[in-house]
Structure 1
Amino acid sequence: MHRLFIGIEPPHDIKTQLLDLMGGVSGARWQTAAQLHLTLRFVGEVDRHQANDIAEALSDLRHPVFALSLAGVGTFERKGQVHTLWAGVTPFEPVHVLHKKVDQAVVRTGLLPEPRVFQPHITLARLSGRIGTLSHFLDANEGLTSAPFAVDAVCLYESTLTSEGSVYTVVERYVL
């Protein structure tokens, strides 16, 4: 079985900028440079045949190159508990259109459409149990911005779960 997702890999300078702001929240499990990405579509566990079908469907993906910039930070909550710290991106429209195209490609392979509302972001940290206060981190980074960076490819990733966290491997890169 293969645990897959499709995403955008930020360039090295954007990863460095994000890594530089990580810290100051006790109990946070900060992402590594290799884990930083913007998920366009989580696929989940599929067999080798389905993985090959997804890879082939993505090879037909067509979308113009566009630019994104970092835009602030935020959190995701579940049942009143914050579980994720993230960095936002702007503008939303081109990444939303790309997300829809990726989702449609995956659906053509027989999987169901993504049921969750798409919120483009780059995960900075996972949170669970007892964590330190988030207000200082959120206040200090609410104005996060970056120079625009080109989104010129989409990556098919495989995620391997380990005791130290997930290891992401780029299986295929699809140039836009």
Structure 2
Amino acid sequence: MPRLFTGLEIPAELGVRLSMLRGGLFGATWIDPENYHITLRFVGDIDDRTAEEVASELGRIRRRAFEVSLEEIDSFGGRQPHSVVAKVGAKNGIMELQAEHERVMQRLGLEPEPRRFTPHVTIARTKGASNRAVADWLAIRGGLFGAQFKAARFVLFSSRSSRGGGPYVIEESYPLAA
């Protein structure tokens, strides 16, 4: 039974830039740069037939390519941060694509995503780090980031259940119109 999600890949040169932030946070589990991505819709563990339906329906999506901007290094989790992330500017292109992915999954009978979509790239998992350590790390390395790339396609990823994320495999890719 595959575990699937849709997302945007991060260009290699941007992955290198994000990876330069690694280190200096005791207890953090750093994500490997080849596994950086922006999740659009988590699909979950599904049977092979449903996976084929998901892949087919995603192929019907027709959207234009759009700019994605990574704007800030921050954390998720409030008083007990669980992740260090690069936050994505919530522009129309990414929000509309994600909403369409959500509609596709619901038409196929999958449960609605319960969380509000907040586009981001996870850099590290921080469940082993204290909130003070995360705050100190962000004081030095966090804040404005400023990077852009053009999303020319979205992909259907598969993963195995693991701690820390990855490795992720691209099962299908879907071009966005120029």
| Fold match (TM-score > 0.5) | yes
In structure 2, relative to structure 1, the CA distance for the partners of 1:104 and 1:169 (3 Å cut) is same
Aligned to 2:113: 114
TM-score by length of 1: 0.92
Q: Does 1:144 align with 2:145?
A: yes
Deviation at 1:107, TM superposition (A): 1.6
Deviation at 1:120, TM superposition (A): 0.5
Deviation at 1:130, TM superposition (A): 4.1
Q: Alpha-carbon deviations, 1:142-176, whole Å to 9, x = none? A: 01111x21101111000113467531101011101
Q: CA RMSD in A?
A: 1.7
Q: Alpha-carbon deviations, 1:88-143, whole Å to 9, x = none? A: 12243221111001111122211122121000100011122344712233122201
In structure 2, relative to structure 1, the CA distance for the partners of 1:21 and 1:46 (3 Å cut) is same
Structure 1 distance, partners of 2:14, 2:69, is: 9
Structure 1 residue identity aligned to 2:70: L
Where do residues 12-27 of structure 1 align in structure 2 (5 Å cutoff)? 12-27=12-27
Q: Does 1:170 align with 2:175?
A: no
Give ranges in structure 2 of 5+ residues lacking alignment.
none
TM-score by length of 2: 0.91
Structure 2 distance, partners of 1:119, 1:159, is: 21
Where do residues 61-80 of structure 1 align in structure 2 (5 Å cutoff)? 61-77=61-77, 80=79
User: Kindly, what percent of the aligned residue pairs are identical?
Assistant: 33
Secondary structure of 2:61's match? coil
Give ranges in structure 1 of 5+ residues lacking alignment.
none
Secondary structure of 2:43's match? strand
Does structure 2 conserve the Cα–Cα contact (< 8 Å) formed by 1:54 and 1:106? yes
Q: How many residues align?
A: 174
Structure 1 residue identity aligned to 2:174: Y
Q: Does 1:154 align with 2:154?
A: yes
Where do residues 97-136 of structure 1 align in structure 2 (5 Å cutoff)? 97-131=96-130, 133-136=133-136
Q: Alpha-carbon deviations, 1:64-103, whole Å to 9, x = none? A: 111112101121117x421111001224322111100111
Does structure 1 conserve the Cα–Cα contact (< 8 Å) formed by 2:59 and 2:174? yes
Does structure 1 conserve the Cα–Cα contact (< 8 Å) formed by 2:2 and 2:47? yes
Does structure 2 conserve the Cα–Cα contact (< 8 Å) formed by 1:92 and 1:120? no
Structure 1 residue identity aligned to 2:17: Q
Aligned to 1:93: 92
